[in-house]
Amino acid sequence: MQPHRQPPPAPQPGARLLALLLLLVLQAAAAPAASGGPEDPRQPLDAGPSRGLLQRAARAALHFLNFRSGSPSALRVLAAVQEGRARINPKEGCKVDLVFSTERYNSESLFEGEERLGKCSARVFFKNQKPRPAINVTCTRLLEKQKRQQEDYLLYKQMKQLKTPLDVVSIPDSHGHIDPSLRPIWDLAFLGSSYVMWEKTTQFLHYYLAQLTSVKQWVRK
């Protein structure tokens, strides 16, 4: 991933905490993809917005939400788009209204009593010639703030206790495997690249995190 300018809003405390410990060098980590999933070639053009467009819009809304929450334990990804409507104005751009379900990115660590799926509604506006879709999104059943902070703090402590520096060449490895012990690093990278993935998503392209090529860790005095 190319260096990018700092996002204007200040990062949330959770993100700052973790940034103290880890610098993730994401070289060429966000890879563009031409569509948001297999699009059905048989779908006629006038049959409403394509599935790909709705999925790209929903993912952009989630990258925005993840970036704003700044918490590796609150990461959410798309489960399914439930409703969607797009209005295209050739002069202005494309406005998408959506309802979709989400799931925790790291679904192995569900809390007791936590529901697996959450629900969001969003309006995503891809403006012509402008970076970053404009997004309004509201979600239900997000992880409680207190639990999130607890979880983030545990991760912080776990990282801080690592005695030997992480000697990581690539995550996932050449077989596409992420060792469970490296999963927290991957989650941090996913959070760290959420801004870029939001910023770069367009009506036609989405970005996703493909591989981490180096991880550097240091302890701040």
Contact residues: ligand NAG, CB under 6 A: 123, 125, 134-136
**Least distance to ligand NAG, CB of residue 92, Å:** 12
Output 135 or 212, the one with its CB closest to ligand NAG: 135
Tokens 């999130």, residue located: 148
The smaller minimum CB distance to ligand NAG, of residues 123 and 147, is found at 123
For residues 143 and 152, the answer to whether their CB atoms sit within 8 Å is no
Residues 6+ apart with CB under 8 A from 179: 173
The H or E element spanning position 199 is helix 194-200
Minimum CB separation from ligand NAG for residue 143, in Å?
Answer: 24
User: 68 or 104, CB closer to ligand NAG?
Assistant: 68
Question: SS3 for 169?
Answer: coil
Cis peptide before 180 (omega within 30 of 0): no
Please state the closest distance from residue 124 (CB atom) to ligand NAG, in A: 7
Q: Which is nearer to ligand NAG, 105 or 125 (CB)?
A: 125
Amino acid at 178: I
Helices and strands in the chain: count of H runs, count of E runs: 5, 8
Q: How far is the CB of 198 from ligand NAG (least distance, A)?
A: 13
Cα distance between residue 214 and residue 25, in whole Å: 6
**Residue among 136 and 181 whose Cβ is closer to ligand NAG:** 136
Report the nearest approach of ligand NAG to the CB of residue 70 (Å): 20
Q: CA 35, CA 6: separation in Å to the nearest integer?
A: 27
